[in-house]
A and B are shown apart, each in its own frame.
Chain A
Amino acid sequence: MVIQIDRRLDEPAYEQAARQIRDAIATGALKPHELLPGVRGLASDLGVNLNTIARAYRLLEEQGFVQIRDRSGVEVAEPARRAPAEASAALRDELWHVLLRMRQAGMPSAGLRREIDRQLDRLLTPQGESER
């Protein structure tokens, strides 16, 4: 897997890094408990500030995608079996606003449903199966 930072984009570098790692976890390219590159090594290979990668890892930890361990580094977190009520409510709210924005952008109801189904398929189908 290759991670890329494009400074010409408006999206901040740490968000670009976090988004690509999140996608890799969601599609199964990175498995639970898999060790991620160290902050210094990854920042060095990318030629970006240490804080960029540290911030991306912190963001992913807040979102529950990784666990930061002091000695053994950063590893992919196991998906939570049951979401806490408050977090679920916040995420549902976030999803609601995304759907609202999509409809406001002109997407018809049928297109909206198709998009939700497509994204769900992408999320729930392991990477190996989707490639077949």
Chain B
Amino acid sequence: MSRESVLGERGADWLRTMVRIRRFEETLADLHRSGELVGVVHLSIGQEATAVGICSSLRAGDQITSTHRGHHHMLARGLEPRRMYAEILGRAGGYCGGKGGSMHVSSFSEGAVGANGIVGGGIAHAVGLALAAQTLGKQSVAVAFFGDGAANQGVLFESLNLAALWQVPVLFVCENNGYTEFTPTDAVTAGGSIFARAATFGLPAEAVDGDDVISVHRAADEVLARARNGGGPAFIECRTNRWRGHHEGEESYARPYREPPKPPDPLDRLEEAMAAAGLDAAPLRSRIELEERALVAESLAAARAEPEPETSRAFEDVFA
């Protein structure tokens, strides 16, 4: 499919989801600054195209595992902003009843096994989810999202080995945003290429421009179609940029680490690509901005109106 026709078919949805993620997270930054949002929150602003490009290739029944920086994955997977806010604000109506918070948003029934607070913690889960799907005769796939930091965790390589041996339908997505928490990834990563490490296990591995939603989507579509037909695992390194710090509020002890990066905003890049494809992008963007800002505001208001969880909930769900 040509770039123009892909944009015609999917561009508006992509733009809407990317705008939703951006405005959703900007609001979280405000809430953190005002003190309403407690705990540690890691924002994905700047990385929207990666989440949206991958998740727009998924179907009902597929599962994703995500990271401490995972709001964009969850929104791209289709989770509701209202229940996300409720979770992140510790309300009863949150996806996990307020027991997970920002780092553990999960909605199994909607194909998101969950975010994970441990770097690399969810990667092996995706291998097992893929094996379960294959064993139970489902056509579904599993996607493991993780960052460049997890590319230095042993469990990634153990998981790549298992997935390659078992030929299970799992896609490894390394979202390389250039920073391992506070440390530039280049300074702690030998060999110069993360996807090349994966390729040594004998599975298809490539790097794509993670800020270009079309490139991400095309790469994901190809390998996921192959995985659904028994073609086994694959690895995509999405090279993107983290615009904000490791977590909100870090300026209290850490120097701001850099200026907002160039090249420009993945949202603007998509809008420009749509305009170049002859689509009426500017008015569409304006309309989407209005609608998504309203949705985010309504969702936040609804989440704020939710009660706190009953205290008794603290003592439930340890065991079946």
A binds B: no
